Amino acid sequence: MFTSSAIARTPIIILGLVAVLMFWGCKSTPSPIIVGDTYTNIEYEYSIRIPQGWEPLNEIPDEFGYFKALPINPELCSLMLYNEKSGGLIAIMNNVMRIAYDDYFEVSYAIWDESLSGLKSTMEKDLKAVAFRYNINMENLHTTQQNYFANQYSYKPEELIGVESSFEFADQRAHFNFSNYWFPCRNTKTCKTIVILACYDQNLAQNQQAFGAVLSSLRAHDYYE
């Protein structure tokens, strides 16, 4: 049941989609763990496999200067991966909401759609958009919950929102694609993870494969009883 208090929080839920890239992803405590090619973040309850040739970074390379014109603070990423050879950057940002996961089931498609339109307008303030396409997979809220019920300790979140966007920057076409995952965590809360791919047009094809591999490997882990 979508309670009156949850309905009252709906504007906050939607505004969070617009502001998320700027404010999410505080540094994790305890520290993340890398074993072999598997990265596990205990604070935000997720793990991914690091593709071959990609290395963790603490700072955004200079070639991704267009990040400064986007509503994103790269210092707040929980993980950044860079492939110097392919010229690609994969960043992961996170947040934990105190709103129960079930409360999101009653948010209408129109509200999700409106929030993404607002995000597009925000991103276009300082950059000339070439393309901005998105899909909203509301049914995946239920699929993710079913996966959680099957095994909360290690389960597959399904993509809620996918965005493919590109912009003109320094006489080049820059891509900024991301997938947004919302999943149950900490027993009664909602974790949100955004996986971002940034690269230039000439490098898109070779970086999409690694991006897809990261998305496929994403797992959530709720150890709270």
Overall size of the chain counted in residues: 225
Query: Mapping DSSP to helix (H, G, I), strand (E, B) and coil, where does residue 141 land?
Result: helix
pLDDT of residue 68: 66
Prediction pTM value: 0.86
pLDDT of residue 30: 53
Query: Mapping DSSP to helix (H, G, I), strand (E, B) and coil, where does residue 112 land?
Result: helix
Per-position pLDDT tens, the chain of length 225: 334 344 344 444 444 454 445 444 444 445 688 999 999 999 899 999 999 999 998 888 887 777 666 666 666 688 999 999 999 999 999 989 888 999 999 899 999 999 888 888 888 887 888 899 999 999 999 999 999 999 999 999 999 999 999 988 878 899 999 999 999 998 889 999 999 999 999 999 999 999 999 999 999 999 876
What is the side-by-side strand order in the sheet with 33-35? Answer: 33-35, 38-41, 46-49, 219-220
- Among candidates 184, 192, 219, which has minimal Cα distance to 78? 192
Report the 10 Å Cβ neighbour count for 118: 15
Q: How far apart are alpha carbons 17 and 113 in whole angstroms? A: 11
Strand 46-49, strand 38-41: pairing: antiparallel
pLDDT of residue 75: 63
Q: Is the peptide bond before 30 cis (omega within 30 degrees of 0)?
A: yes
Query: Mapping DSSP to helix (H, G, I), strand (E, B) and coil, where does residue 89 land?
Result: strand
What is the architecture, at CATH level 2, of domain 4-220? 3-Layer(aba) Sandwich (3.40)
Query: Mapping DSSP to helix (H, G, I), strand (E, B) and coil, where does residue 63 land?
Result: helix
pLDDT of residue 98: 87
